[in-house]
Amino acid sequence: MNVIADPAHYPFPLMLLPYPYEALSPHIDPCTLHFHHDRHLKTYVENLNKTLAPYPDLHDWTLYQLLTHLEKLPPQIQKSVRNNGGGVFNHQLYFDSMTGVETKPGSVLLQAFENSFGSFGEWKSKMTEAATSVFGSGYAWLISNDDGTLRIVTTPNQDTPLPLRPLLLIDVWEHAYYLQYQNLRAEYIKNWFCVIDWDKVEDRYLGR
């Protein structure tokens, strides 16, 4: 799924998980994944559609267009589109960036990590620091710059880094891990690295 180039528009559908609920276990258990996708993401989709329903002029806008042109929307719906549209975009990319099959970064990505952070291991350390540093709810992102270098950014709540080009993100809202890990966010972050779908991350990096 290419979340950024997704042509979907109102009424936005609930994405299907690209794997069974048990696929990410033991790192993310089926109960957590079920509630996260079927309850939380579904609510964001429903609220976004409810917000857009009275505005037919916006019904052919893609999610990317809505989130990168918030200032062009009616003022009374800008906050709802930012929060709920961001919730849809962020969760779709999050779920689509994980897999139950072990993958590893390819040579192109490994070189980009080395050029940008010194090594892949150093990126993992900095990504862990970024995810841990998010106060309350938010995300840590791996971003591809126009020159092919990589960087890490964090966003609060359901804000997105758009129009920057995200390759990967970790959700550190409590609903992403609390059913399984309770207050052990650090343990969740450590285990999240085990379910990254590096094939899809590299496809995004190469523009495929």
Q: Is 171 annotated as a binding residue?
A: yes
Q: Is 37 annotated as a binding residue?
A: no
Concatenate the DSSP letters of all residues of the chain into one string. --STT----SSPPPPPPSS-TTTTTTTS-HHHHHIIIIIIIHHHHHHHHHHHTT-GGGTT--HHHHHH-GGGS-HHHHHHIIIIIHHHHHHHHHHHTB-SS-----HHHHHHHHHHHSSHHHHHHHHHHHHHH--SSEEEEEEE-TTS-EEEEEEETT---TTSEEEEEEE-SGGGTHHHHTT-HHHHHHHHGGGB-HHHHHHHHTT-
Q: Is 175 annotated as a binding residue?
A: yes
Q: Is 59 annotated as a binding residue?
A: no
Binding site for Mn(2+), by residue number, is 36, 91, 171, 175
